[in-house]
Amino acid sequence: MGPSFDRLLDYDRWANQRWLPIVESNDALRPIFSHILNAQAIWFRRVADPDFSLPEAFSDQIDSNHAAWKSILPNRDLTEVIHYRNLAGVPHECPFGEILMHVINHGTYHRGQLREMAPDAFLDTDYVMFALDLE
């Protein structure tokens, strides 16, 4: 069996925190990083709290998203079907666990874009590096 969602959320936070100083010193990277964090908040609003809002600073957004997702994880059934509307207003439904996997993978995908945009600021935020960092 693979890593738990609890651990994957910790990985996502770890990877975002590693990118934070680079993003804060490079204006070209800010829109993608903002997209990662805002998408996490949008999905959290859909599954748990429509009034959830993010603080202004990226570092606080990372912490706020992480705490929010971790707080609901123990009390949610991964098979629970979530009914929501996308940003265009189109209704959809998807199991909670699939949404959570999307949230984590979405961040990984866009951090890969950051890596392409900032090749001189090489960061290895692959999951295995997180796992090795814990040893």
Q: pLDDT per residue over 32-74, tens digit each?
A: 999 999 999 999 999 999 999 999 999 999 999 999 999 999 9
Q: How many domains does the chain have?
A: 1
Select from 124, 115, 99, 114 the least CA-distant residue to 33.
114
Helix H or strand E encompassing 61: helix 58-72
Q: pLDDT per residue over 76-131, tens digit each?
A: 999 999 999 999 999 999 999 999 999 999 999 999 999 999 978 778 898 999 99
Q: Look up residue 72 and give its two tokens.
A: 């609901």
Domain that holds residue 16: 5-133
CATH number of the domain bearing residue 107: 1.20.120.450
